[in-house]
Amino acid sequence: MHHVMFDIDGTLIESYDFDSECFNEAVKEVTGFDIDTNWARYKHVTDAGILNEFFNEKNIKNTNTVTENIKNVFLTKIQTRVDEKPIREITGASTFIANLKELDDVVISFATGGWYESAVLKLKSAGIDISDIPIASSNDHYSRIEIMKIAEKRAVKEVRLSFTYFGDGSWDLKACKELGVNFVLVGDKLEHHQSIKNFEKKNEAFAYIGL
């Protein structure tokens, strides 16, 4: 049996750049401060983790209320962008997931550093079927590693299975190394011995999973 986990932004959907823009705009609108968008410098590269560090740096109080306000503004901005121009999937992503769903020896999960509501909104805009797929997000924890553990727990009902993670960021690779998870790079943001440009070549991606 195989457990296949996917990051979302930049891995399944082409949303990385405008997602960052909307996040930055929302933070500025609510707090009056610009946020450093060099995400790799943050200890926890998740919406919750980044905001925790940002609040500490700017000495911002009432963080629960401020977070909720930022989240609401962010979701409104994402919805506006999506209404104007639907999000595109990374080529072949929806078909690849559909192919995995057909296999009896595979379980699927999604783990995102973003908030759950925005993840669902973007995946649906891109036409990716998320039915029956557990999603763990920044709603669940500020740590990417913990988010991955939660997604695994929701997907896997038995002893730990063969575990492969598809992601696009340095933080994805770091988390997989710490957890001992098989990592497959999507795109070209990094160099990694297991990488795919997109999901067009199904057999290549299957081989990295061990299928």
Please say whether the dihedral angle defined by the alpha carbons of residues 156, 7, 139 and 115, taken in this order, is positive or negative: negative
Calpha distance 43→55 (Å, rounded):
14
* pLDDT value at residue 35: 95
Q: Are residues 146 and 97 part of one domain?
A: yes
pTM of the full structure? 0.93
* pLDDT value at residue 137: 98
Q: Are residues 181 and 110 part of one domain?
A: yes
* pLDDT value at residue 17: 79
Please give, one letter per residue, the 3-state secondary structure of 54-76: HHHHHCCCCHHHHHHHHHHHHHH
Closest listed residue to residue 90, CA positions, set 21, 182, 165, 15: 15
* pLDDT value at residue 157: 80
Calpha distance 42→46 (Å, rounded):
9
CB atoms within 10 A of CB 192: 16
Residues 6+ apart with CB under 8 A from 105: 1, 2
CB atoms within 10 A of CB 132: 8
From first to last of the 211 residues of the chain, give the pLDDT tens digit. 899 999 999 999 998 678 889 999 999 999 999 999 998 899 999 999 999 999 999 999 999 999 999 999 999 999 999 999 999 999 999 999 999 999 999 999 999 999 999 999 999 999 999 999 999 999 999 999 999 999 999 999 876 679 999 999 999 999 999 999 999 999 999 999 999 999 999 999 999 999 9
Which of 84, 101, 118 finishes a domain? 84
* pLDDT value at residue 18: 86
Q: Which domain holds residue 23?
A: 16-84
Which of 84, 112, 136 finishes a domain? 84
* pLDDT value at residue 19: 87
Q: Are residues 132 and 43 part of one domain?
A: no
Q: Are residues 95 and 78 part of one domain?
A: no
Mapped onto helix, strand or coil, the DSSP state of residue 129 is coil
Q: Are residues 98 and 47 part of one domain?
A: no
Q: Are residues 133 and 77 part of one domain?
A: no
Q: Are residues 56 and 37 part of one domain?
A: yes
Which of 84, 104, 132 finishes a domain? 84
Q: Are residues 20 and 10 part of one domain?
A: no
Q: How many domains does one find in the chain? A: 2
